[in-house]
Amino acid sequence: MRRRDFLKTMGIAAGASTIPFLKFMPAEAAGRDGTLVVVTGNGPNSMDIQRKGTNRPSYQIAVNLYDRLVGYSTKKLENGTLMYDYTSLEPEAAESWTIAPDGKSITFKMRKGATFWDGTPITAQDVKWSFDRAVSLGGFPTVQMKAGSLEKPEQFEAVDDETFVIKLLRPSKLTLPDLGVPVPIIFNSTLAKKNATADDPWATEYLHRTPAGGGAFMLERWDPGQQTVYKRFDGWKNGTLPGVERVIIRQVPSASTRRALLERGDADVSLDLPPKDFAELSASGKFSISGVPIENSMTAIGLNLNFEPFANKLVRQAIAYSVPYDQIFKQAAFERGIPMWGGKSKTPATIEWPQPFPYDTDYDKAKDLLKEAGYANGFDVPLSFNLGLAQWSEPMSLLLQESLGKVGVNVTIDKIPGANWRTAALVEKKLPMHIKNFGGWLNYPDYYSFWVYEKGRLFNSMNYDNPKVQELTNATLHMEVDNPEYAPKIKELIGIFFDDVPLIPVYQPYLDVAMQKDVTGYKYYAHRQLDCRLFTKVTS
C-alpha cells in the first residue's frame, strides 16, 4: 500500500518538491491521534530565520526544527498556563556552561550523543559556523545577536568537538538570555557547507527551503501559503521527546473560518482570533483559552514632542487624564489584557515592567492642566494607527476621538497602511499622536527604555529626549538585576516615565490561543509563536 511505503521511504526533512506521490497522509494522521492540527492566519515565508525578509510566522520554524545552546525553563502562571521563565535558563544543545572567573568568557559543553536528523553529531564546530553566520549575514539576525553583545566571529571559538567558548566584549546580563531567542539556532554545518556556493557562502538559498538541523521536529512538508507539516524526530536528545508525532499547520486567512474550524472540532488549536472571539469562546467554556500577558509590551498612545502642544509636559498629562481607559479596555480589547492605568502612587513601588501609570479618566483635571499650559481652547491633532492592526486600533481611536473632544482637543483619524507605517512612525517619526504596541524580547525595563525612550532609537516615535533617561538606561542596560544599584535606578527611570508621559500606556495585551480541551502543554514565549515540542493530546 502506498501510504505505508511512504512511511518507510520518508527521508529526512523532504522539501515540498521532493514529496513522493501519495494520496493520503499516513494512517495515523487520518485518525488524528498524535496529530495536532493548528489553524493560523499567516504562515512562514522561509525555513531560515536568518534570511533577509523572513516574516514573523517563520520564527516557529527556528523554534521547532532547530536547537539552540540553551532554552528557557518553564513557570506556571496562576491560571495554570505555562510560560517561559526568562530568569532561569535550561540546557538544550549545550549540556552545561560555566562563566569564567574573570567574567570574560562563557564555556559551553555540548551534549554527548545528540545528532542532527541525518545522524551527524552536533559539535561545537556547528555552533561556531551557525553563530558566525548570524553575526555576518546582516539585518535582523545580526541586530538581535548584537543585543546580547554578540557582534563578531572572533568572539566564537570551537575548542574541540565538545567545547564551545564565547569571548565576551563586556559582561552583560543580556548575553545568556539572548542565546535562547529564536535567532541563534544551530545548523548542520557539514550539510549546509555542501550546499554553499562561492557567491553564497552561508548557503542561504539552500537553507531557505530546506531546513538542516537537529530539532525536535523535522519538516515533512511545506506548501508555502497553505500549510507546514512537522514530523517528530524520534532521535532527539536535547529535551523531552514531544508528545505529538505530527503537527499540521494550516493557513486559513479568515478569522471567522478559523473559529468555525475550532468549534467543529476540525482544528485542535486556533491562533490569531480577534479579542472578541476569544472572549466569547472563553465564555462558552467548551475550549481552553490561554491568555498570557505579552511580556515587556503594552498598547499605548504615543505623543510626539515635535508637535508643539505635546512639547509641554502639562499637555501630555492632560491627554493622559482624558483617555477613556475603561471603555477602550472593554470595547476595543474585550478585556483581553491587564489594565495599565489607575496606578496608586506617582513614584513606582516596584521595578515591575510594565506597571500601571498613575492616571485615570478625569476630564476636569485634564481641562485644568490644559488651561495652565495655555491651551484652554484646545487644539487640532491627527491620530494615526496602523491599518494592519485595525481590529483593535480602530475602535480604540474612535473612543479616543470622542473623549478628547470633551476637553476641546479636536482629533482627526489618520489610517496608515501597514507597509508605510514603519517609515512614517518609526523612521521619519512624524506622527503627532499614534497608537503603539512595541514589545521587547528581552524582558527588562532598561531594555524597553533602550528601544523606546532613548533619544533617536527606532521605536522612540515620540522624539522623546531626556538626558536623565539616557544616563539611567545606559547605566542599567548590562547591569545584573541583583546589583544593589539596579532597583533604585530603575525606579527612578519609571518615575520619570510616569511624570513625563511621552507614552500613555492603556493595557498590556494578552497573547490568546484557543485549544480543544484535550490539548495540553501550550507554553507562551516572547516571540509569540507556537512551541509544538510541549504539546500533548490526550485521547479518550
Residues that bind another protein (CB under 8 A): 19, 21-25, 29-30, 37, 39, 45-46, 51-55, 138-140, 142-144, 208, 223-227, 248, 250-254, 256-257, 260-261, 263-264, 266-267, 417-420, 422-423, 426-427, 451, 458-459
Nearer to another protein, 55 or 306 (CB): 55
Closest distance of CB 414 from another protein, Å: 14
Strand partners, 217: 232
Nearer to another protein (CB atom), residue 102 or residue 198: 198
d(CA 403, CA 361): 9
Distance linking the first and last C-alpha atoms of the chain: 29
Residue type, 9: T
DSSP state of 83: E
For cell 545552546, what's the residue?
A: 69
91: β partners = 70
Query: Shortest approach of another protein to residue 528 CB, angstroms?
Result: 13
Which is nearer to another protein, 267 or 320 (by Cβ)?
267
Under 8 Å between Cβ of 336 and 510: yes
If one counts every other C-beta atom within 10 angstroms of the C-beta of residue 37, the result is 23
Q: How far is the CB of 267 from another protein (least distance, A)?
A: 8
Q: Report in angstroms how near the CB of residue 269 gets to another protein at its nearest.
A: 13
C-alpha distances (whole Å) from 14 to each of 20, 115, 210, 222, 247 are 9, 18, 8, 9, 15
- Whole-number Å distance between alpha carbons of 446 and 469: 10
Which residues on adjacent β-strands are paired with residue 288? 515
| CA separation for the pair 478, 480 (Å, rounded) | 7
Q: In the complex, what is the shortest distance from the CB of residue 87 to another protein, in angstroms, rounded to a whole number?
A: 23
Count of C-beta atoms within a 10 Å radius of residue 316: 25
Q: Closer to another protein at the Cβ: 181 or 323?
A: 181
State in angstroms the smallest separation of the CB of 9 from another protein: 14
The grid cell for 289 is 483559552
Q: How far is the CB of 487 from another protein (least distance, A)?
A: 28
Q: Considering beta carbons, is residue 296 or 403 the nearer one to another protein?
A: 296
- Looking at beta carbons only, is 39 or 301 nearer to another protein? 39
Cα–Cα dist 266/38, whole Å: 9
Q: How far is the CB of 439 from another protein (least distance, A)?
A: 10
Nearer Cβ to another protein, position 29 or 400?
Answer: 29
Nearer to another protein, 261 or 314 (CB): 261
The CA R_g of the chain, rounded to the nearest whole Å, is 25
Residue with Cβ nearer another protein (146 or 371): 146
CB-nearer residue toward another protein: 46 or 304? 46
Rounded-to-integer distance, Cα 249 and Cα 254, Å: 15
Nearest approach in angstroms of CB 84 to another protein is 20
Query: Judged by CB, which is closer to another protein: 22, or 413?
Result: 22
Three-class SS of 411-427 = EEEEEECHHHHHHHHHH
Judge whether 158 and 124 are in contact, CB under 8 Å. Answer: yes
Minimum CB separation of residue 28 from another protein in Å reads: 10
By beta-carbon proximity to another protein, the closer residue of 374 and 417 is 417
Cα-based distances in Å from 204 to 1, 46, 51, 135, 319: 38, 10, 7, 14, 49
C-alpha angle 291-293-295 in degrees, rounded to nearest 5: 145
Q: Is the separation of the CB atoms in 301 and 319 below 8 Å?
A: yes
Sign of the alpha-carbon torsion through 446, 506, 436, 508? positive
**Is the dihedral angle over the CA atoms 305, 310, 314, 316 positive or is it negative?**
negative
Paired residues of 163 in beta bridges: 109, 160
Minimum Å distance from CB 19 to another protein? 7
Tell the smallest beta-carbon distance from residue 235 to another protein (Å).
25
